[in-house]
């Protein structure tokens, strides 16, 4: 059973590293996404306010069969001292002139603090975000994510969160 889980992790890491490899270099720079929201809003006993940030390096993008992919790194902390740091990939899909749809996937490390026990230190974050381009370098968005350990631990309760995003390109 442990070998199957390790094999799954290696496949994810190998696939992500192939997708992240730079094929085309853009000169648009970097992006910081500051967010605030509600961690595990679907669990009345464990929900908590969260704040976080995410960095996207648009210089390391790649056009793939999945669309334009670029690496992300970030983290958040909850009012209950739970913390999550991650690195992964996101896709940027333009939906008109001012709307951007951004799904992402990021494995990371979770520390429960005084918050929810998610069952393992290694957790996976799947997220969708819709953002509105207010100017050339500023966007506002809303996002939803699910953090889960893919049954790596003895338990896998997962956590669902929503956030409001302030995004700045520089």
Nearest-angstrom CA–CA distance, 47 and 138: 29
Instruction: Identify whether the C-beta of residue 80 lies closer than 8 Å to the C-beta of residue 111.
Output: no
* Greater pLDDT, 49 or 21: 49
Q: Which of 155, 85, 99, 87 is nearest to 132 (CA)?
A: 99
Which runs of E-coded beta strand occur in the chain? 30-39, 48-57, 62-64, 67-78, 83-91, 93-94, 99-111, 122-135, 138-148, 159-169
What is the tens place of the pLDDT at every residue in 55-104?
998 788 888 877 789 999 999 999 999 999 999 999 988 899 999 999 99
When divided into structural domains, the chain yields a total of 1
Work out the percent of the chain whose per-residue pLDDT is above 90. 68
Query: Does the pLDDT at position 52 exceed 90?
Result: yes
Query: Does the pLDDT at position 26 exceed 50?
Result: no
Q: In this structure, what CATH number is given to the domain that contains residue 47?
A: 2.40.160.20
* Greater pLDDT, 11 or 110: 110
What average pLDDT does this structure show over 117-143? 96
Q: For the chain, what is the radius of gyration of the CA atoms?
A: 16
Query: Does the pLDDT at position 25 exceed 60?
Result: no
Domain limits for position 43: 2-169
What average pLDDT does this structure show over 42-62? 91
């Amino acid at each position: 059973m442990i070998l199957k889980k390790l094999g799954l992790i290696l496949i994810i890491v190998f696939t992500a590293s192939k997708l992240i490899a730079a094929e085309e270099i853009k000169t648009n720079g970097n992006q910081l996404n500051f967010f605030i929201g509600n961690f595990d809003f679907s669990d009345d006993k464990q929900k908590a306010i969260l704040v976080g940030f995410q960095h996207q390096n648009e210089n390391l993008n790649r056009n793939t069969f999945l669309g334009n992919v670029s690496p992300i790194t970030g983290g958040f902390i909850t009012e209950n001292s739970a913390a999550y740091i991650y690195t992964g990939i996101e896709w940027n899909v333009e939906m008109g002139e001012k709307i951007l749809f951004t799904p992402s996937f990021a494995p990371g490390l979770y520390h429960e603090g005084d918050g929810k026990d998610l069952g393992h230190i290694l957790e996976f974050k799947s997220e969708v975000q819709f953002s509105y381009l207010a100017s050339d370098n500023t966007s506002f968005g809303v996002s939803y994510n699910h953090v889960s350990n893919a049954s790596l631990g003895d338990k896998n309760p997962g956590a669902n969160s929503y956030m409001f995003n302030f995004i700045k390109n520089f």
